[in-house]
Amino acid sequence: MKKLIFVTGGVCSSLGKGIAASSLGALMEARGLNVRMVKIDPYLNVDAGTMSPYQHGEVYVTDDGAETDLDLGNYGRFTKAPLSRVNSITTGQVYKTVIERERAGDFLGRTVQVIPHITDEIKRRILLVADEPEVDITIIEVGGTVGDMESIPFLEAARQLIHEFGRQNAVSVHVTLVPSVSGGEIKTKPTQHAVKELQEVGIQPDVLVLRSTEALGLELRKKISSFTNVELEGVISGYDVSAIYELPLVYQNQGIDSFILKKMNVESRHAELGPWKSVVKKIKHPASTVRIGVVGKYMELHDAYKSIWEALAHGGIANNVQVELVKIDSGTLEAEAGESRVVSETRAAADKANALAGAQAGAPADTHKPVALRSSDPIDKRLEEAFAGIDGILIPGGFGSRGIEGMIQAANYARKNGLPYFGICLGMQIMVIEYARNVAHMPDAHSSEFSTTTKHPVISLLEEQIDVKAYGGTMRLGASESKTREGSAMRGAYGTESIFERHRHRYEVSNAYKDALEAAGLIVAATTPDGCLVEACEWPKHPWGLGVQFHPEFKSRPTKAHPLFAAFIAASRRYAESRGR
């Protein structure tokens, strides 16, 4: 019989259900079991592709082009489980399918209802993953908080599956909060109420993961066990740790994997956690530190670049160095010298409102123009201050015109000063625009995404995208093959000619300018197999200046850093050492 583990959350959101589910997946894999991960999101969007980073953080892209919740990124970093569109379930997908079936007459005149039709569709999607022949255990994370109206159909579907499979084959793991109040007194009442709410929908949790700042003692865990009908072995202290990759070790030390497998009558080998112990050791005891300046548009929201931060950390682990992140809002590199703080804040607020209203991934470019720099502005001094003590610059992906000129200034600074530079998606396009302006004698070079009047649109839409009006799922999405150039830094990092990486963009380097850019010295380091699209560029005679059109951060893991992030951090370490840092 297939085994299911449902992970739910109580008390409040953002408790770390995704990390808890991922850590469980890592432990089951360490025991030699074949795991699959499923994320349920209760929002009505079909996918996360058109959501603003300010509302939902980054969009994680799978090999088959699904635009999903960032928790799938955690699954990809903690486990080896394959991820595709079937691993992401939303309310929008479920209702869309049921309504389409109703319109096609599949229900033969019956009244279509939440129960059984919606819950049956949810169960079908879960079992589509769980019933794969090679799968031993499927871990299903139910987004939201127990008690939310939006989550009710999913919890009912979970209840039905637990009933149908039996408690020995389907287990409930509930993540709750154990807060401390003034004076440091720890309160268990929120957890008691959270469990009661779950019981009211018909689910008795088998395991409780208690989120707290400090490890919880035995007596407190006994108290919670007695009030919630959860065995003491199943009451786990999920306390804060300095690095999230330590959590599998924390859980395993408390026996959560042994307890769950015993309840499900599953035999396995002892957990092999050597790779995780090595990762944690390198995080806690690095040989040195490098400072990476990330120049982007959504710096105030950490989750907007979640996979970037993690991939940089993985590059640090691979090089046994600590990566210190320096977040730089690109808008601060382009403001007029005399611009007041009030004006700056007004522009930032307007941009945020724009993003929340829909000017995000794939939506039309922002309507307000970036402030132009005057010749009298002390831009060099501002750049020197921004990048003082920085050992490498990374410019990530993004959409909209805000901050673009600041990114171009950052790329120019890195190129001229021999500072390691890594451009991802938009970051590569910035690299091309800067080179066209300052080396290839095209002073007004730009992307047609940001300027309709430029005489040199070195970045432009593909012909088949020009008349596309819809935004959801209409970009170049998912994994595709690229060919790396012999002798390039790209080939050196990968060690192979053919690579497969995930894309999420509409705009490309214009082939009308490819020859002129190469004639000016820009190195095209990778292309599509037919040579039609530029996939990567490098600066000539530069220690490490590389941009890629795809998103390598989505394939990086703590136990196996992506080769480009490992190479970028290695170059940044060499730069730091050359400066005596």
E strand residue ranges, 443-533:
446-447, 457-461, 476-484, 498-505, 507-509, 523-527
Closest CA to 398 of 472, 294, 498: 294
Judge if 299 and 261 occupy the same domain. Answer: no
Give the gyration radius of the chain's Cα atoms: 25
Of 280, 295, 326, the residue that ends a domain is 280
Closest CA to 184 of 220, 152, 230, 155: 220
Beta strands 288-296 and 321-329 are parallel
On the question of pLDDT at 366 being above 90, the answer is: no
Among 126-140, 153-167, 328-342, the range scoring the smallest mean pLDDT is 328-342
Judge if 309 and 270 occupy the same domain. Answer: no
Distance of CA 129 to the CA centre of its chain: 22
Average pLDDT, the chain: 89
477-499 per-position pLDDT tens digit:
999 999 999 999 999 999 999 99
Of 280, 307, 332, the residue that ends a domain is 280
On the question of pLDDT at 463 being above 70, the answer is: no
Judge if 327 and 187 occupy the same domain. Answer: no
Judge if 303 and 263 occupy the same domain. Answer: no
Comparing 63 with 472, which gets the higher pLDDT?
63
Helix axes 274-284, 306-318, angle to 10 degrees: 90
Judge if 316 and 452 occupy the same domain. Answer: yes
Judge if 455 and 501 occupy the same domain. Answer: yes
The reported pLDDT for the residue numbered 464 is 53
Judge if 356 and 465 occupy the same domain. Answer: yes
Per the CB < 8 A criterion, the answer to whether 50 and 360 are in contact is yes
201 phi and psi, to 5 degrees? -90, 5
226-275 per-position pLDDT tens digit:
999 999 999 999 999 989 999 999 999 999 999 999 999 998 889 899 99
Query: Which pair of tokens denotes residue 294?
Result: 């990330």
Predicted confidence band of residue 102 (pLDDT cuts 50, 70, 90): very high
* Separation between Cα atoms, residue 179 and residue 465, nearest integer Å: 51
On the question of pLDDT at 184 being above 90, the answer is: no
Judge if 180 and 267 occupy the same domain. Answer: yes
Of 255, 280, 305, the residue that ends a domain is 280
Q: Report pTM.
A: 0.88
The domain of 222 spans: 3-280
Comparing 344 with 111, which gets the higher pLDDT?
111
491-527 per-position pLDDT tens digit:
999 999 999 999 998 899 999 999 999 999 999 999 9
Which residues are bridge partners to 326 per DSSP? Answer: 293
What is the set of active-site residues? 425, 551, 553
The reported pLDDT for the residue numbered 364 is 30
Which residues touch 111 (CB under 8 Å, ≥6 apart)?
A: none
Judge if 352 and 456 occupy the same domain. Answer: yes
Judge if 168 and 125 occupy the same domain. Answer: yes
Beta strands 545-548 and 421-424 are parallel
On the question of pLDDT at 358 being above 60, the answer is: no
Judge if 259 and 292 occupy the same domain. Answer: no
